[in-house]
């Protein structure tokens, strides 16, 4: 899949950006704080995912403007598609169109523009806290199954309601039996999500394992395993509507007293993790900096490969400032593994030796305009 045209105006500091990217490598270079990451972020949010910097939609509108306009044309294996977004400070006034048809939100665009973004924070994927890995797997699955996103949101709502109730029970204004209805919903959603995430992690382990084997020149083995706080072993188990649901329900009942004491739900998918091991040792605790970086890169590359395998489309790759963070071996590895995909790269100085279409970014202007303003 390739982005053929991209327009942005009023998105953070971006001004009247109008580019026709190459189907290969595109390099955005310039000084700090000129808008390189803003450009990557603007493309990324059109994929339907949340900003990787945590920017809320209304904060994405330029300080001195009322709205931000983003247009993107893409070509996938079947057709050309056009995404148009007008983001406003008042979220009710925003407008999102896909091929001219009105959409409810940016999230409704999930699955149209398939993107994988690499940021310096992603290099913490194996070393960071469990929530980073939980969110990562949720995102990977949502890109393949756009409806999965809604299931996770529903689970989060149920979790918040159950936690509020636990607190009310502790202070004596609610009854323990009131938990039954939330436990039931939680078990249904939780059992399904566990199965999906476990299955995805198995696949990720295979793909990332192969990549890691290569990057370590066959010396080390990477494995990923889904760690469930509910089920001792999920291998080969898929019956989320019956057995797995009942087991989940049972665990919630068992942990009720603990949960009331703690004031929150102590078990469930919101406490699960993905365990990353190198040669059988947990990378987070025992891995070197280099091993963790290779593990993170392998996991991100695997995300792109699986997305391609599952959807038949090569994702568009966004590399924000990662190349400068990596040593030569890892830099060359990642670029070689992304061959054939459209890539958007940002960097401070033009990364030498890298071939591609170059765009200068200065003061929110990109390409020819930035060159002209430079004089
Ligand atoms: N809502 C907004 N309106 C206008 N400008 C904004 C807004 N939000 C952020 N900015 C500006 O965007 C600039 C940062 O842009 P960006 O993060 O894209 O820089 P960058 O070129 O990636 O820099 P670096 O090389 O340091 O990563 C800052 O100057 C910031 O003030
Ligand atoms: Mg940046």
- Expressed in angstroms and rounded, the spacing between residue 308 Cα and the centre of ligand 2 is 27
Q: Is the pTM of this model over 0.85?
A: yes
What's the token pair of residue 138?
């949720």
Predicted pLDDT of residue 348: 79
Ligand nearest to the CA of 33: 1
Predicted pLDDT of residue 351: 61
Atom nearest to 346 CA in ligand 1: 22
- Expressed in angstroms and rounded, the spacing between residue 119 Cα and the centre of ligand 1 is 15
Ligand nearest to the CA of 348: 1
Are the CB atoms for 29 and 362 separated by under 8 Å? no
| Pairwise CA distance, residues 369 & 371, whole Å | 5
Predicted pLDDT of residue 373: 58
The tens-digit pLDDT sequence of the chain (375 residues) is 999 999 999 999 999 999 999 999 999 999 999 999 999 999 999 999 999 999 998 899 999 999 999 999 999 999 999 999 999 998 889 999 999 999 999 999 999 999 999 999 999 999 999 999 999 999 999 999 999 999 999 999 999 999 999 999 999 999 999 999 999 999 999 999 999 999 999 999 999 999 999 999 999 999 999 999 999 999 999 999 999 999 999 999 999 999 999 999 999 999 999 999 999 999 999 999 999 999 999 999 999 999 999 999 999 999 999 988 899 999 999 999 999 999 999 987 656 677 899 999 999 999 876 766 554
CA 30, chain centre distance (Å): 26
Torsion, CA 236, CA 241, CA 246, CA 247, rounded to 10: 30
Predicted pLDDT of residue 375: 44
Closest CA to 146 of 174, 104, 182, 177: 104
Atom nearest to 321 CA in ligand 1: 27
| Pairwise CA distance, residues 46 & 58, whole Å | 15
Residue nearest to atom 29 of ligand 1 (CA): 33
Predicted pLDDT of residue 355: 85
Predicted pLDDT of residue 77: 94
Residue nearest to atom 14 of ligand 1 (CA): 33
Residue 38 Cβ contacting ligand 1 at under 6 Å: yes
Predicted pLDDT of residue 374: 54
Query: Measured between alpha carbons, how far is residue 282 from residues 102, 127, 300 in Å?
Result: 47, 10, 18
For 99: left if phi > 0, alpha if psi spans -120 to 50, otherwise beta; the answer is left
| Pairwise CA distance, residues 314 & 301, whole Å | 12
Predicted pLDDT of residue 372: 61
Which domains are delineated in the chain? 1-114+315-375 (3.40.50.300), 123-312 (1.20.1050.90)
Instruction: Return the number of other C-beta atoms located less than 10 Å from residue 65's C-beta.
Output: 15
Predicted pLDDT of residue 3: 98
| Pairwise CA distance, residues 107 & 83, whole Å | 12
Residue 36 Cβ contacting ligand 1 at under 6 Å: yes
């Amino acid at each position: 899949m390739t982005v053929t045209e991209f327009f942005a105006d009023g998105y953070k500091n971006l001004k009247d950006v109008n580019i026709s990217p190459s189907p290969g490598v595109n390099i955005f270079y310039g000084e700090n704080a000129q808008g390189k990451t803003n450009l990557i972020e603007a493309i990324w949010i059109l994929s339907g995912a949340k900003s990787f910097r945590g920017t809320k939609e209304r904060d994405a509108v330029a300080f001195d403007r009322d709205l931000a306009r983003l247009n993107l044309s893409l070509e996938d294996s079947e057709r050309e598609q056009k995404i148009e977004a007008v983001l406003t400070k008042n979220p009710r006034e925003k407008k999102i169109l896909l091929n001219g048809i009105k959409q409810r939100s940016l999230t409704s665009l999930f699955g149209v523009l398939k993107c994988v973004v690499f940021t310096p924070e992603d290099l913490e994927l194996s070393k960071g806290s469990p929530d980073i890995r939980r969110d990562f797997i949720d995102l990977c699955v949502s890109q393949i199954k756009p409806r999965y996103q809604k299931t996770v949101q529903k689970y989060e709502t149920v979790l918040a309601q159950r936690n509020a109730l636990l607190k009310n029970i502790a202070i004596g204004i609610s009854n323990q039996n009131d938990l039954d209805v939330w436990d039931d919903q939680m078990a249904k959603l939780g059992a399904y999500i566990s199965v999906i995430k476990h299955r995805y992690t198995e696949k990720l382990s295979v793909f990332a394992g192969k990549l890691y084997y290569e990057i370590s020149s066959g010396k080390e083995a990477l494995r990923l395993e889904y760690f469930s706080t509910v089920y001792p072993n999920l291998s080969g188990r898929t019956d989320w509507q019956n057995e797995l649901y009942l087991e989940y329900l049972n665990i919630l009942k068992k942990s009720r007293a603990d949960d009331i004491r703690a004031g929150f739900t102590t078990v469930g998918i919101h406490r699960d993790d993905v365990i990353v091991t190198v040669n059988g040792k947990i990378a987070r605790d025992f891995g070197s900096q280099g091993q963790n970086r290779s593990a993170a890169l392998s996991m991100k590359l695997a995300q792109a490969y699986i997305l391609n395998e599952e959807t038949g489309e090569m994702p568009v790759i966004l590399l924000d400032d990662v190349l400068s963070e990596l040593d030569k071996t890892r830099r060359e590895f990642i670029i070689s593994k992304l061959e054939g995909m459209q890539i958007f790269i940002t960097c401070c100085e033009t990364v030498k030796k890298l071939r591609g279409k170059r765009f200068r970014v200065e003061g929110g202007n990109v390409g020819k305009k930035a060159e002209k303003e430079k004089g």
